[in-house]
Amino acid sequence: MIAHVVGVACAVSLASVLPILPLYVVDAGYPRSFVGVMNLVHNVTQLLARPVGGALTDAYGPRRLAPFGALGYALSDLLVLVPHPVTLLASRVSLGLGMGALWPPLLSTVADSGRSLGVFNAVTQLPMVLAPPLGGYLYRSVGPWAFAVLALPALLAVPLAGSLPDVRTSREKISPLEVLKKSLEVDREIFLASFPAFATAAVQPTIESFVPLLLKKLGADPAQIGLVLAVRNAVAVTLQAPCGWLADRYSPTVLAALGCVLAALGVLVLPFVKSVPVAVVLLCVGGVGYSLAQPSSLKLVAEVSGERRGLGMGWWGSIMSLGRLTGSLPGLLADVSLSAVFYISGAIPLASVLPLLRRPR
C-alpha cells in the first residue's frame, strides 16, 4: 500500500506538469527543439540512474533509496520556476535521478505476478488521467506558479517513502563499488524481456511534448490539451490490470508485439488529423498498445531476473528510458517539420514487432 501511495504522489507531480511544460518553455521564448533537448537530458539521466537504483535496492532495501527519488521529483518542478537554460536542464536531470531512485524500489516490492504489476501500474498511472487537466487549469489560472503547487505531492511523499518494507535480496554488507559493478550487469534474457518497454516508450516523448503543440494548432487551449491527454491516459491506465492478467495466462511476447503495432498507429496518423476528436481516438488506440506491452514486459523481467529482482527492474526501467531517449531524438527536428517527429517516432515500435516475435516464448 505504501508503494502505491508514494508512486501516486510522485506521478501527480510529474503528470500534471507534462502538458504545460512545453507550452511554458515555448512561451518563455525558447525554440521547440529545446523541448526535445530537455527530453533528451531527462532520458539520458534516468537511463544511467535506474540500474544503479536497482542494484542499491537489492543491496540496501527500498526504504533507504525511495525518499531520494521522491525528492528528485519535487525539485524537478521547483527548478522550472526559473526559466533559465541551466535550471530548465537541471530540472530534467533531477527528474531522471528521481526516477532512478524511486521506481526500482517500488517495483521490486510488488513484482510477484503479472496481475500485481498490472494493478500497480494502473494505480500509479491513475494520475496520468486526472493530473493533466489539473496542470492545465492551474497554469491557465496562476501561470508559472503552478509548478510550485504541483511539487507538493512529491514533497509530502518523501517521509512516507522511508516507511517502505525493508526487503533485500542480500543481507551481506556490500560496498558502494560492488553495488556499482552489479548495476552494470545485464544478461541477454533481461534485455530481451525489457525490449517491449523500449519499443512502446519510444512514442511517449512525442505524446507528452509535441501532441500538446499539435493540439494547440488545432485550436485547443491548455485546459483542453490536458483533458485530451487525460482521456488517452485513462485508456492506458484502466487496461493495465486486465492486461497484466492476460500476461499471466497467454504469451506476454505476442501481447507485447500487438501493443507495439497499436502504439505505432496511434502516432503515425496524427499529422493527417484535422480535428481534436479524431486526435483523441488515435491517441486512445496508442494507449491500448501501451497498456498491452508494459505489464507483459514487466512480467517477463520478473520471471528471468530471479533474486536480482531489484536489478532486473532497474534495467527494465533503464531500457525503457533508452526507448524514451531514442524517441526524444525526432523532437530535435521539430523546428524543421513537426510531422516528421510523429512519423519517425511511430516507426520505432512498428519496426520492433518482428524482433519481438522472434523472441523465444
Residue 71 confidence (pLDDT): 93
Residue 78 confidence (pLDDT): 93
What are residue 30's phi and psi, to 5 degrees? Answer: -90, 150
Nearest to 76 by CA among 41, 118, 123, 110: 41
The DSSP annotation for 98-116 comes to: HHHHHHHHHHHHHTT-HHH
The DSSP annotation for 239-290 comes to: THHHHHHHHHHS-HHHHHHHHHHHHHHHHHTGGG--SHHHHHHHHHHHHHHH
Distance set, CA 329 to CA 35, 38, 76, 204 (Å):
11, 11, 21, 12
Dist CA 113 CA 296 (whole Å): 10
C-alpha angle 303-263-39 in degrees, rounded to nearest 5: 90
Q: Are 51 and 182 a contacting pair, CB within 8 Å?
A: no
Distance set, CA 206 to CA 157, 195, 267, 346 (Å):
29, 19, 8, 9
Extract long-range pairs of 246-249: CB within 8 Å, 24+ residues apart: 246/114, 246/292, 246/296, 247/114, 247/118, 247/295, 247/296, 247/299, 248/113, 248/114, 248/115, 248/299
In the chain, DSSP finds a helix count (H) and a strand count (E) of: 20, 0
Residue 50 confidence (pLDDT): 85
3-state SS class at 61:
coil
Distance set, CA 301 to CA 123, 283, 295 (Å):
20, 27, 10
Nearest to 6 by CA among 59, 54, 71, 53: 71
Q: Cell numbers for 196, please give them.
A: 517491449
Other beta carbons within 10 angstroms of residue 276's beta carbon come to 16
Residue 114 confidence (pLDDT): 67
* Residue whose C-alpha cell is 493540439: 215
Residue 98 confidence (pLDDT): 93
Residue 343 confidence (pLDDT): 92
Residue 69 confidence (pLDDT): 92
Q: Are 198 and 263 a contacting pair, CB within 8 Å?
A: no
Residue 136 CA, distance from chain mean position: 19
Q: Are 203 and 114 a contacting pair, CB within 8 Å?
A: no
Task: Specify burial of residue 222 (Cβ count, 10 A radius: 0-12, 13-18, 19+).
Answer: buried
pLDDT tens-place values along the chain, 361 residues long:
788 888 889 988 888 888 888 888 888 888 888 887 888 888 789 888 888 888 788 777 788 888 999 999 999 999 999 889 999 999 999 999 999 889 888 887 776 666 777 778 778 877 777 777 788 888 888 888 989 998 999 999 988 888 877 665 555 556 656 666 666 666 677 778 888 888 888 998 888 788 888 888 888 887 788 788 878 878 887 888 888 888 888 888 889 889 999 999 999 999 998 888 899 999 999 999 998 988 888 888 878 776 677 777 778 878 887 887 788 788 888 888 888 989 999 999 988 888 777 765 5
* Residue whose C-alpha cell is 520492433: 352
The pTM of the full predicted model, rounded to 2 decimals, is 0.68
Dist CA 76 CA 96 (whole Å): 9
Q: Cell numbers for 198, please give them.
A: 523500449
Instruction: For residue 30, give the DSSP letter.
Output: -
Q: Are 181 and 296 a contacting pair, CB within 8 Å?
A: no
Task: Specify burial of residue 332 (Cβ count, 10 A radius: 0-12, 13-18, 19+).
Answer: middle
